């Protein structure tokens, strides 16, 4: 896939649009979860209902604390407001909970057309959420780009037939070869339309 023109821009939330300072290493330590497997994926393997419920509570606490402290990633608010002003459809697909996203939205105000969370669809890298957003917007996935900061974002976009954009952050350069587009600042999104 090549650079634009895209008819819609979709985004990941944490690490792409907002910084919630969610410390996954601390979360894994508290939960006793192993490295190398997603937190939600490991949670799904827990067979003891009490252990799973406790782990979900810990995850929710970390997410809600992060959401309450959310700040914009440099350029994100300007990009979203510019896209909104120009009538470009936008959406967010996140692995966060609906409650955490609602808290982030209450703190910052997210000017997008649709937000889907892990309660709404299978978590990334599954393409279901991106395909639901495309359907809601009435657009072909191939005409859209999904921007994120992690490999699951890039895989979800590819699985949905969308272009993928990687927002580099200094810790994710090893994912560049899996992205269709790489950007160092969110403002570059505006050049793709």
Asked which of 53, 68, 83 is the last residue of a domain, the reply is: 68
Assess if residue 163 is contained within a domain: yes
Residue 61 lies in domain: 24-68
Examine the domain organization and report whether 166 and 135 are in the same domain: yes
Assess if residue 165 is contained within a domain: yes
Strand-pair category, 18-19 with 114-116: unpaired
Assess if residue 2 is contained within a domain: no
Assess if residue 1 is contained within a domain: no
Examine the domain organization and report whether 110 and 163 are in the same domain: yes
The pLDDT of 4-23, averaged and rounded, is 91
Question: Domain tally for the chain?
Answer: 2
Examine the domain organization and report whether 120 and 162 are in the same domain: yes
Note the pLDDT tens digit of each residue in 56-80: 999 989 989 999 999 999 999 999 9
Whole-number pLDDT of residue 4: 58
Assess if residue 136 is contained within a domain: yes
| pTM tops 0.85 | yes
Residue 18: name the closest of 59, 76, 101 by CA: 76
Examine the domain organization and report whether 56 and 84 are in the same domain: no
Assess if residue 38 is contained within a domain: yes
Which range among 15-24, 91-100, 136-145, 182-191 shows the weakest confidence by mean pLDDT?
A: 15-24
Whole-number pLDDT of residue 69: 93
Assess if residue 185 is contained within a domain: yes
Assess if residue 3 is contained within a domain: no
Examine the domain organization and report whether 53 and 94 are in the same domain: no
């Amino acid at each position: 896939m090549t650079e634009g023109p895209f008819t819609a821009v979709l985004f990941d939330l944490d690490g792409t649009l907002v910084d919630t300072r969610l410390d996954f290493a601390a979360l894994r330590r508290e939960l006793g979860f192993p490295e190398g497997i997603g937190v939600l994926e490991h949670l799904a393997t827990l067979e003891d209902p009490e252990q799973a419920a406790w782990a979900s509570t810990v995850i929710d606490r970390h997410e809600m604390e992060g959401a309450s402290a959310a700040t914009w990633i440099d350029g994100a608010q300007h990009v979203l407001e510019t896209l909104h002003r120009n009538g470009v459809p936008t959406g967010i697909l996140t692995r966060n909970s609906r409650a955490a996203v609602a808290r982030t939205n209450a703190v910052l105000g997210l000017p997008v057309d649709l937000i889907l969370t892990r309660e709404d669809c299978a978590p990334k890298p599954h393409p279901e959420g991106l395909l639901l957003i495309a359907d809601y917007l009435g657009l072909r996935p191939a005409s859209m780009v999904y921007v994120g900061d992690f490999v699951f974002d890039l895989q979800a976009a590819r699985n949905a037939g969308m272009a993928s954009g990687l927002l580099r952050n200094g810790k994710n350069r090893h994912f560049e070869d899996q992205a269709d587009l790489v950007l160092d600042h969110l403002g570059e999104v505006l050049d793709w339309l």
